[in-house]
Amino acid sequence: MLGKVKTQELARKVRIHAVKMVSKGGSSHIGSVLSMVDILAVLYGRVMNYESKNPKWIDRDRFILSKGHAGVGVYAVLAECGFFNVAELDKHYQDGSIFSGHVSHKGIPGVELSTGSLGHGLPVSAGMALAAKIDKKNHKVFVVMSDGELDEGSNWEAFMFAAHHDLNNLMAIVDRNKLQSMKTTEETLSLEPLRDKLIAFGWNVIEVDGHNHDELFSAIDSDTKKPKVIIANTIKGKGVSFMENKIAWHYQTPSGDLFDKAMLELRVEK
Amino acid sequence: MRDALVKSLFMLAEKDSRVMLLTGDLGYGVFEEFEKKYPYQYLNIGVAEQNMMGIAAGLALEGKIIFTYSIGNFPTLRCLEQIRNDACYHELNINIIATGGGFSYGGLGMSHHATEDIAIMRALPGMTVLVPSTSEESETGVINLYETAGTGYLRLDKSKFENTKSIEGISVGKANILRRGSDITLIAVGGIAKEAMKAAEILSSANIECRVVSLYSVKPIDIGVIKSACEDTLGIITIEEGNLTGGIGSAVSEVCLDNEFKPKIFYRFGLNDEYSEIVGDQEYLRSHYKIDCSSLVSKIKSLFDN
């Protein structure tokens, strides 16, 4: 487990890997990755129990990325945390590679579930949390969701289910960057008042600055009798100024001068 | 068929505590005893099939062996992507049980007619598809799926077709020969195999001896039984209470083409790419869509006359 200074450094490294991977692969969704990097850094750096060389360790905490399009962030944090060699990240999006654009569990240590279609992660996570309750296990299940994916009805089925079954070993973290595929969430299909909705569904709701590691840690670490959801207010593209709050970076690939500029902002030495 | 299902589920739940039954709020009067006896192995998810399949995947990832249950198209089409991505791709031992195959719920209307499920389920890589025609096959089907790695589909029928014992046993990958005969082979799935059996008896009196095969294991399919039908009889008639597109007639024809089997006769009974806009009981709708016994008899006679 890392201290808070080190989670900042972990986040910075993950951002650098992510921008490099997306640039080399010619892939996309970098804005969605950067908005959740701090969440990943706190989870993998300070919160979760795991053994990177024994990724199927029975008592590990489980992590599911429901917003599978941000998979490069997970690949990068897993590599930085020792699940596999960081050199593997160069394979992302290359022909014949298993490091797909959307997160895949096939052959990649540490990935619990392949996702990519939205609205799948929370129901599966709830099933995993229920299994832990049945088997009297103490590990937790963490799932990171996008705010846009809350449009999917399957999530609300699972929100109801988890509350009904008192799954307080399940924690959802909503990456609330407020932008989805074409416009803002509020222009597309308004989520607000999101906090009230989630409370009404029977969850313990905590709202934090999703880039503040201490706030994230305290919220994640707090005890709860109900399933807990953290609304992490984030900035899409966080960490690279020209990507921040720009929907275009859901799709664009940084290359040339823009790549260099991103690297400079992330303090990469040439 | 439901009684056979429940009997097998009790047996499995008793011997293996990993076995869990999830229902999408259906099975009134069927599962109460199960819930009472195995409260930690039973869960009514609510009317939420996508969530049911997601929960099933989460439980199965943690080592549980899951049976999901609902009727008609609900446990399959309503949550098709969860079946594809969460269950099949992760190679999870999740076994979907649907009752009400074909026109079992004929009177309830097209929402409750399960007429494309076999085609769609068999199109998924890694999926085992079992479609029992008899109670014996239903009872064994549950156990076969439990023992088979990966995701499975067991499609049950409401129509009663009892007391026909398998000749050579029932297993995954094997068709079940219900009647011996050397003139022509009738291949059917589900309760409609009853119509094939009745037709075979009538045709026998006209000196046409039909072999009747229940294509219990739609996937993996029994290539040997199809080969024998092509080589030892004049050909194959398939009978299904569902759409012809992608159904079992398609599956059998694929085997013939891939293996260069050349039946002299090949004919498919089923729905001609349509939904039923009318209602009626199962027998009425079979007759309406000309997939009943008398339609089989007259068509097969005409094939032999030519």
| Residue B48 with chain A: CB contacts under 8 Å | 157, 160-161
- The alpha carbon of residue B163 and the mean position of all alpha carbons in its chain are separated, in whole angstroms, by 18
Cα A139 to Cα A152: distance, rounded to the nearest angstrom: 27
What is the tally of structural domains in chain B? 2
pLDDT in tens, B40-55: 999 999 999 999 999 9
Domains of chain A: 4-265 (3.40.50.970)
B82 touches chain A (CB under 8 A): yes
Q: Domain with B183 in it: what CATH number?
A: 3.40.50.920
Chain segment B232-285, per-residue pLDDT in tens: 999 999 999 999 999 999 999 999 999 999 999 999 999 999 999 999 999 999
Please check whether residue B54 lies inside any domain of the structure. Answer: yes
pTM for the full predicted model? 0.96
State whether B85 and A115 contact (CB < 8 Å): yes
Give the per-residue pLDDT at B306: 72
Query: Looking at the partner chain, which of B50, B59, B85 has a beta carbon nearest the beta carbon of A131?
Result: B59
From the list A112, A135, A154, the residue facing B51 with the nearest CB is: A154
Q: Is A134 on the interface with B (CB under 8 A)?
A: yes
- Ordered per-residue pLDDT tens for chain A, 270 residues: 566 669 999 999 999 999 999 999 999 999 999 999 999 999 999 999 999 999 999 999 999 999 999 999 999 999 999 999 999 999 999 999 999 999 999 999 999 999 999 999 999 999 999 999 999 999 999 999 999 999 999 999 999 999 999 999 999 999 999 999 999 999 999 999 999 999 999 999 999 999 999 999 999 999 999 999 999 999 999 999 999 999 999 999 999 999 999 999 998 754
**Amino acid A2: pLDDT:** 61
Residue B12 lies in a domain: yes
Chain B contact set for A122 (CB, 8 A): 54
Query: Does residue B170 sit within a domain?
Result: no
Residue B164 is assigned to a structural domain of this protein? no
Shared-domain flag, residues B134 and B56: yes
Q: Which of B121, B155, B189 is the last residue of a domain?
A: B155
Q: Which domain holds residue B61?
A: 2-155
Q: How far is CA B284 from CA A82, B211, B289, B291, B292, in A?
A: 65, 26, 9, 10, 9
- Within 8 A of B86 by CB-CB distance, chain A residues are 113, 120, 123-124
Closest chain A C-alpha to B67 CA, distance in angstroms:
14
Of A112, A114, A120, the CB nearest to B82: A120
Q: Which residues of B touch A158 (CB under 8 A)?
A: 51, 54-55
> Residues of chain B with pLDDT > 90: what percent?
91
Is residue B85 less than 8 Å (CB to CB) from chain A?
A: yes
Q: Are residues B137 and B6 in the same domain?
A: yes
Query: Does pLDDT of B103 surpass 60?
Result: yes
A135 to chain B, any CB pair closer than 8 A? The answer is yes
Task: Say whether pLDDT at B70 is over 80.
Answer: yes
Q: Is a pLDDT exceeding 90 seen at residue B60?
A: yes
Q: What is the pLDDT of residue A268?
A: 75
CA distances from B297 to B34, B197, B199, B201 (A): 43, 11, 6, 10
**What is the rounded average pLDDT of the residues B20-46?**
96
Indicate yes or no: CB of B51 within 8 angstroms of CB of A132: no
Which residues have a Cβ under 8 Å from the Cβ of A29 and sit 6 or more positions away? Answer: A22, A69, A70, A72, A101, A250, A251
Question: Do the beta carbons of residue B174 and residue B144 sit within 8 Å?
Answer: no
